[in-house]
Structure 1
Amino acid sequence: MCGRYASSRQPDELAEEFEIDELRLQEPLTESYNVAPTDEVYAVLERPPHSSPRGPLRQDEENASTERQLRAVRWGLVPSWAKDVKIGNRMINARMETVSEKPAYRRAFAKRRCLLPADGYFEWYATDAKDAKGKPRKQPYFITPKDGGVLAMAGLYELWPDPAKDEDDPTRWLWSCTVITTEAEDSLGRIHDRMPLMVERARWDQWLDPTRPGDVALLTPAAPGQLEAYPVSTLVSNVRNNGRELIEPLPLEEAWG
């Protein structure tokens, strides 16, 4: 599972890293060290350059040449057929094992794939220590590339028409996304049994190309040794807390004390 992550890069940094052709942003997102479900996040995706800026592609645009765009989308995928936007609250992750089959994801997997840039993500480990209620105390860990680079998490995006808004309302279409997850590699599996899937740089073009069918073979867990995990403050457990201190390493004696 991936339920929180950090995203502090600015649009110009991401534009250079992901070779963005067009910034489709009304304004930059505020850097966040505690990105939570329903927050707006950056997504890298490809669409025809002259397509509707807000709605789905027309039939004549389906096979048109594309440009790479950076957009802000809501974390928590809302399928186009959903009756209520709240469905997205429980669709923040899509399992790789079933992403091409489940009705909520298979159309997006076929044509609406994206990359979700992150500094790293958080997972919680149940320790032997007990809290005041006698339950295992959970220690948060931050998992990030050892080289300080950007994580390119595999994602899907969707467009949902709000039935309460007029067809010509520019805010009618909600853009949303989900993170694709897989079984965690051994060194991280001790913390949590799931982890976000990464897309290697050499496969970005194939993954993002909406004219190519989705292929799970393009998705790979991060190679062992590329990521590091270290304990951080329990302040991250509260979504109201935000700041760089949330990703600062915590001395082990404090983490386990």
Structure 2
Amino acid sequence: MCGRYTLLADELEILDEFALDQPIDNYHPSYNIAPGQNVLAIIHDGKEKRAGYMRWGLVPSWAKDEKIGYKMINSRSETAHEKPSFKNLMARKRCLIVADSFYEWQKIEDKKIPKRIQMKGRKLFAFAGLWDKWQHEDKDLFTCTVLTKDANPFMQEIHHRMPIILPKELENQWITPTKVQPADAHQFLEAVEVEELKAYNVATYVNSAKNNDEACIVPLAD
């Protein structure tokens, strides 16, 4: 799964990396992004790519209660094209969720050791995501979920699942405004190859989403 991550780059780095023309309203970096918080996502509106904030935890347009979002921070890529909550979104509401590392907890005996995981070859990257708009009375809520897959050999030692990180050359294709068949979107994700990752241990300080400062990412001494 993917339950915490970071985004520490400055706004200009993000605009350059993802070829965005418009500034990001209210951009703020974070050392400890958690479910239920607003996260930076990129969509294509049919004319251009746009970056903005959505709440992490998908609330489908048909949901009766927005609290369902806390159960839908991740969606399994293997079945998303078949599930009622995600099928239509796979066809037409795909997004990039911008990050520069993520956290995972490795279970060793009776302990869970937090690790920070980064790309070896690049600083910024994007998770493959899905988004939706939920409306209730006078409230409009934009939310998203991170697509996950079985862990690759590197991640298997840490956790059995991992977020799908899109190769740079496939980011624009994932958010193309053209409607696609959900099964085709599924096949697209199945073909994504994982780039090399690296990881190091961090303090359990990161366990609390209330903690959001540099201490979250300081490497622990071996």
- The interval holding the TM-score normalised by the smaller chain is over 0.9
Match for residue 124 of structure 1 among 102, 105, 120: 105
Aligned to 1:141: 115
**Secondary structure, aligned partner of 1:249:** coil
Rg: which structure is higher? 1
Q: Distance in 2 between matches of 1:240 and 1:19?
A: 32
Are positions 1:217 and 2:215 aligned together? Answer: no
User: What amino acid is aligned across from residue 90 of structure 2 in structure 1?
Assistant: F
Identity %: 39
Match for residue 148 of structure 2 among 181, 185, 188: 181
Give the Å deviation of 1:9.
2.1
Match for residue 166 of structure 2 among 176, 182, 199: 199
Q: How does 1:1-257 map to 2 (within 5 A)?
A: 1-23=1-23, 25=25, 27-28=26-27, 30-48=28-46, 66-128=47-109, 136-163=110-137, 165=138, 172-213=139-180, 214=182, 215-219=185-189, 220-223=192-195, 226-252=196-222
Residue pair 2:125, 2:168 contacting (<8 A) in 1 also = no
Aligned to 1:131: none
User: What amino acid is aligned across from residue 48 of structure 2 in structure 1?
Assistant: E
Q: Distance in 2 between matches of 1:240 and 1:74?
A: 17
Residue pair 1:197, 1:221 contacting (<8 A) in 2 also = no
User: What amino acid is aligned across from residue 22 of structure 1 in structure 2?
Assistant: Q
Residue pair 1:185, 1:221 contacting (<8 A) in 2 also = no
Q: Distance in 1 between matches of 2:213 and 2:123?
A: 19
Residue pair 2:58, 2:132 contacting (<8 A) in 1 also = yes
* CA displacement 1:174-201 (0-9 Å, x = unmatched): 1110000001111211110000002112
User: What amino acid is aligned across from residue 33 of structure 1 in structure 2?
Assistant: Y
Q: Distance in 2 between matches of 1:207 and 1:8?
A: 24
Q: TM-score, normalised by structure 2?
A: 0.92
Give the Å deviation of 1:24.
5.8
* CA displacement 1:202-244 (0-9 Å, x = unmatched): 2222211121415223322523xx1101111110001111112
* CA displacement 1:60-98 (0-9 Å, x = unmatched): xxxxxx210001110001000011110000100010101
**Secondary structure, aligned partner of 2:215:** helix
User: What amino acid is aligned across from residue 201 of structure 1 in structure 2?
Assistant: K
Structure 2 unaligned blocks of 5 or more: none
* CA displacement 1:14-54 (0-9 Å, x = unmatched): 111101133462x22x3111100011110011003xxxxxx
Residue pair 2:11, 2:24 contacting (<8 A) in 1 also = no
**Secondary structure, aligned partner of 1:187:** helix
Give the Å deviation of 1:148.
4.6
Q: CA RMSD in A?
A: 1.4
Residue pair 2:103, 2:116 contacting (<8 A) in 1 also = yes
